[in-house]
Chain A
Amino acid sequence: DQQVKQNSPSLSVQEGRISILNCDYTNSMFDYFLWYKKYPAEGPTFLISISSIKDKNEDGRFTVFLNKSAKHLSLHIVPSQPGDSAVYFCAASVNNAGNMLTFGGGTRLMVKP
């Protein structure tokens, strides 16, 4: 049951360019979305989130866009830096349905110097 899907297992980007990571979901009950970053041998760390009442949220170099009609969200990193190389997970939750997050499979981002 893949309610949250990240169709690109990996992405390679040149330093200084934009990285765009995509995520699709099928459950229309999801109303809050999060991006986590994970380095090897570490746990996921929270990066940025967006509520379904918004279509964009920005935090420094990171911007998340939400297209509810397409059930699609994306994470933009501008400019990309080598330290951004990690696995990025999108996750989603449902209001009034507990505390569970449903994760996508992750996209490995490699930023080349």
Chain B
Amino acid sequence: EPEVTQTPSHQVTQMGQEVILRCVPISNHLYFYWYRQILGQKVEFLVSFYNNEISEKSEIFDDQFSVERPDGSNFTLKIRSTKLEDSAMYFCASSETTGRYGYTFGSGTRLTVV
């Protein structure tokens, strides 16, 4: 069954450093998403991406965050200057059509900011 692949599975970074989380969505999917889950809290929407541009973003997705689809297969989330409160599980997801009917999630990257 097709999968969304995320790398690395765990990343530790120092506060203030830039970090890039990588995702390979399912190949025929057109919509891409990032969500995050702070330990013990809800899964929260960050951003959706379609046709090489951001289609929606939440208030969490401020100027410190950016997304990119640098080639035909990868989808990345960059955090420019990490803060302690950015520590969370970050999930990438993709969908073939509009995601409101559900997406396929990756296994997540656990980001620890120290």
Chain A interface residues toward B at CB < 8 A: 32, 34, 36, 41-46, 49, 89, 91, 93-95, 97-106
Judged by a CB distance under 8 angstroms, whether B65 is at the interface is: no
CA distance A98 to B100 in the complex (A): 7
Nearest 5 Cβ contacts at the A-B interface = A43-B105, A99-B99, A93-B100, A103-B43, A98-B56
- Could you name 26 residue pairs across A and B whose Cβ atoms are closer than 8 Å? A34-B102, A41-B107, A41-B108, A42-B108, A43-B4, A43-B93, A43-B105, A43-B108, A44-B105, A45-B105, A46-B102, A46-B103, A91-B43, A93-B100, A93-B101, A97-B100, A98-B48, A98-B100, A99-B33, A99-B95, A101-B103, A102-B45, A103-B43, A104-B42, A106-B42, A106-B43
Chain B interface residues toward A at CB < 8 A: 4, 6, 31, 33, 41-45, 48, 50, 55-56, 58, 91, 93, 95, 98-108
CA distance A93 to B31 in the complex (A): 15
- 15 new A-B contacts at CB < 8 Å, known A43-B93, A46-B104, A101-B100: A32-B101, A43-B6, A43-B107, A43-B108, A44-B91, A45-B105, A49-B101, A49-B102, A93-B99, A97-B100, A98-B55, A99-B100, A100-B45, A101-B45, A102-B45
B7 vs chain A, min Cβ distance (A): 13
The chain A residue with its CB closest to the CB of B9 is A41
B41 touches A105 (CB 8 A): yes
